[in-house]
A and B are shown apart, each in its own frame.
Chain A
Amino acid sequence: MVTGQVRYLSTLAAVIVFGVVASSGCVVVRAHQRGHLAKRAMTDDSDVGEARFTAHERGSREGAEGGTGEPGGGCGCN
């Protein structure tokens, strides 16, 4: 288990470092250029209630629960 956690944290750190380094070379989009980026579909097109139900429903039908940010929530359907 410890090996798995170390491997995971190493991967996570590598992804973050890669992302920051890669992003530093990107074009900076200034605030006045972000009209399209502010649209609902470009920020988060799912409301919090929809996202919560979807995560719960998939957790009860699929083995790959998780990957949505937080655990728990009951259901009794392990």
Chain B
Amino acid sequence: MRLQLAFAAALVAGAAAPARADGTLEARGVYYKERATRVVQPMLDAMFDAGLHGVATGHFLVDAITSASASSGAAGDKPFTEQRYEGGLGYAHQLGDLTIGADAKYSTESDYRSFYAGLRGQLELGQKNTVLGLGGGVSIDRVSAAAAQGLGTTPTLRCDADHAAESSCPLHVYALYGSISQIISPNAVVGVSADLGVLHGFQSNPYRQAIVGDGLVIERHPTARNREAFAASARYYIASTATTVIGAYRYYRDSWHIHAHTPEVRVVQELGHDIDATLRYRYYTQDGAYFFHARYPADDAAMTQYVSDDVKLSTFTGHTIEGKLGVLGDAVSLPGMWAAARFEGILEYSIQNNRFGNAVIAHLALTLPFAY
């Protein structure tokens, strides 16, 4: 009883104490459906003030993937379900106009493990009219065929052409990115960014097979890939209608000779103080990897050095249309801290003229700010 009273007193004292720091909690659930795959992903994100100049972040998510796709390891189009778990932590510290930070995350599923660590910095210049960003990171991944269905044992993988088959293969990814954003008027901000990714290791799908001659051969992709992406964006606020117009464009190229163009436009309309609605349209087009073919001749060693049945490496175009509605708790007269809570719903439809086909994605999210 004394312990309960002490606990209650501590709670009251805590509630009466002035708020010293802020944070937000975000809970989100996503449903994804395409022709052969369905994903349900619940996730939690948290952000806390840590001292006067620090911000700590963390997240945890679960991917529940149900797939009948052979590229996921399914046998005979029989669907199966597996889970992927991911957790991450980050910290950023402000030193005047400079903010430096570090992030790490770990992801695990039956046939794929990934550990990522990165550093980033941000510098504000010209009374914060200009913001420079620079960051980089390393991802150390390991791939196996452990999700193969209908087999008594886990198939082995050829990590590269020079080594015998092993139970799993490494993949290392090195990333560097930089960005600049610039305020150009009280209503407009523009930005540019550049990303570099260097990949070394196993980059094939452990289950997928390509058509070679009259037979099937397990996929073989090159073990090195350099990726580059350049992006530009502009945001403009139309005060008379409380509308924000966002335009963005990204150009991508890599050493597998894929080039992609991605223009996008978003319109965000405020509906009073507490509601906003967004419409997004995104166009995507890419050409295929130099080694991708629908079929490979059995008698051409040069053409069959690398073989692939990866639809992502083919030539295709896509369109994405999205609607989003955000509502603050105040709009429906929620009391206390719930008045500042944000409820969000997103519905997205993605069209692709390839074997993946179209996809539907839906989000429901709640973001709750709090003081402690």
Asked, given contacts A49-B26, A77-B205, A78-B203, whether A5 binds B198 with beta carbons under 8 Å apart, the answer is: yes
Within 8 A of B (CB), among A43-69: 45, 47-50, 52-53, 57, 60-69
Residue of B nearest to A59 (CB): B312
Asked, given contacts A45-B246, A72-B105, whether A23 binds B129 with beta carbons under 8 Å apart, the answer is: yes
In the docked arrangement, what's the CA distance between A33 and B41, Å?
40
Report whether A64 and B252 are in contact in the complex, using a CB–CB cutoff of 8 Å.
yes
Asked, given contacts A23-B130, A48-B59, A78-B204, whether A67 binds B195 with beta carbons under 8 Å apart, the answer is: yes
Checking B139, B183, B286, B318 against A71 with a beta-carbon cut-off of 8 angstroms, the contacting residue is B139
Contact residues in A for B149 (Cβ distance below 8 Å): none
Q: Between A and B, how many residue pairs show CB distances below 8 Å?
A: 245
Within 8 A of A (CB), among B132-159: 132, 135, 137, 139, 141, 143, 147
Report whether B109 and A63 are in contact in the complex, using a CB–CB cutoff of 8 Å.
no
Asked, given contacts A50-B346, A78-B143, whether A70 binds B252 with beta carbons under 8 Å apart, the answer is: no
Q: B266: shortest Cβ distance to chain A, in Å?
A: 7
Report whether B229 and A66 are in contact in the complex, using a CB–CB cutoff of 8 Å.
yes
In the docked arrangement, what's the CA distance between A12 and B270, Å?
36
Chain B 162-179 interface mask (CB, 8 Å, partner A; 1/0):
000000000101111110
Report whether A63 and B197 are in contact in the complex, using a CB–CB cutoff of 8 Å.
no
Contact residues in B for A73 (Cβ distance below 8 Å): 86, 105, 107, 114, 116, 139
Report whether A42 and B235 are in contact in the complex, using a CB–CB cutoff of 8 Å.
yes
Residue of A nearest to B286 (CB): A63
Report whether B189 and A37 are in contact in the complex, using a CB–CB cutoff of 8 Å.
yes
Report whether B194 and A8 are in contact in the complex, using a CB–CB cutoff of 8 Å.
yes
Contact residues in A for B310 (Cβ distance below 8 Å): 78
Contact residues in A for B224 (Cβ distance below 8 Å): 1
Within 8 A of A (CB), among B354-368: 356, 359, 361, 363, 365, 367
Contact residues in A for B174 (Cβ distance below 8 Å): 71
Checking A27, A53, A69 against B185 with a beta-carbon cut-off of 8 angstroms, the contacting residue is A27
Closest 6 CB pairs of A and B: A67-B229, A72-B139, A74-B107, A64-B260, A41-B244, A64-B252
B-side residues, CB < 8 A to A, are: 26, 28, 30, 32, 34, 41, 43, 45, 57, 59, 61, 63, 71-72, 84, 86, 103, 105, 107-109, 111-116, 118, 125-130, 132, 135, 137, 139, 141, 143, 147, 171, 173-178, 180, 182-187, 189, 192-199, 202-206, 221, 224, 226-231, 235, 237, 239, 244, 246, 250, 252, 254-256, 258, 260, 262, 266, 268, 270, 276, 278, 284, 286, 288-289, 310, 312-313, 318, 326, 344, 346, 350, 352, 356, 359, 361, 363, 365, 367
21 pairs, CB–CB < 8 Å, chain A vs chain B: A5-B196, A5-B226, A8-B196, A19-B182, A20-B125, A23-B180, A31-B127, A34-B183, A36-B186, A39-B244, A39-B270, A40-B326, A41-B270, A49-B365, A63-B288, A67-B252, A68-B195, A70-B103, A74-B113, A74-B141, A78-B221
Q: A57-B32, A70-B177, A78-B171 are in contact. List 4 more A-B contacts (CB 8 A).
A: A15-B180, A42-B189, A72-B105, A74-B113
